[in-house]
Amino acid sequence: MKKNITGSKLAQLKQQGQKISAITAYDASFSEVFATQGVDIQLVGDSLGMVLQGNDSTIPVTVDEIAYHVKCVQAGNKGSLLIADMPFMSYATPEQTWTNAATLMRAGANMVKLEGGSWLLESIEGLTIRGIPVCAHLGLTPQSVNVFGGYKVQGREEDQAQLMIDDAIALQNAGAQLLVVECVPSSLGKRLSEALTIPVIGIGAGPHCDGQILVMHDMLGISTGYIPKFSKNFIKQTGDIHLAIAAYVDEVSSGAFPGPEHCFE
């Protein structure tokens, strides 16, 4: 079990070349298992709109729903850093951002996550000044699925890739302490991790990121139907939830996960 993971502890892990493990969590019981097995970060993701509520996107999720699950996860947590997703349109203006982030922090979050690039600079600076740590999210940002026209790999063209790197540096300079990058070629995951001093946590972003995150329902074999290429079912090899989480933490830490079969070129 790891105790009291903070943003500065995560920065230290990056400096030391130690990989960071992260997972989505939605309730106290799983939270305790994840923390006990040494998961560094738990994210109450708006993926709950899909895996808990059965929607086909994250768009219907509300701040109150995230806050409810943050309370549940923090109740079982034993030292992981707890990040709360700010759901669709809850940070459309800086004022909305302060109010909604405050609700999530009061519910027990240690950090909030926002999807988007340089249009968020004022919000990120404002949150940081007001004492709210921020995780940024680039690449395939699921709240923009209707703009992207589907869940597609991002940053394959060099101009898109460079824009993402420029955005990431600007977000870091505005105060973001962490970056999640989703569904990009491994080469771009590597460039982002090298360009930033803050840790880069990948999901479908290759093995060179500073850490990895997966949706718990995918990696525990609960999800049916479409399983993303970047995920891995750790129950298949272990047959036990505690052992599956321990194997995930070990494989992230050793670099065994993600393998080439989980990556995009």
Binding positions for ligand KIV, rule: CB under 6 A: 24, 43, 45-47, 85, 180, 182, 203, 213, 215
User: Which is nearer to ligand KIV, 45 or 133 (by Cβ)?
Assistant: 45
- Rounded to a whole number of angstroms, the minimum distance from the CB of residue 45 to ligand KIV is 2
Q: Please say whether the beta carbons of 249 and 38 come within 8 A.
A: yes
CA R_g for the chain:
17
Distance CA 45, CA 149 (A): 21
Instruction: List active site positions.
Output: 182
Residue nearest to ligand KIV (CB): 45
- Rounded to a whole number of angstroms, the minimum distance from the CB of residue 44 to ligand KIV is 8
- Rounded to a whole number of angstroms, the minimum distance from the CB of residue 24 to ligand KIV is 4
Distance CA 97, CA 208 (A): 32
- Rounded to a whole number of angstroms, the minimum distance from the CB of residue 115 to ligand KIV is 8
- Rounded to a whole number of angstroms, the minimum distance from the CB of residue 183 to ligand KIV is 10
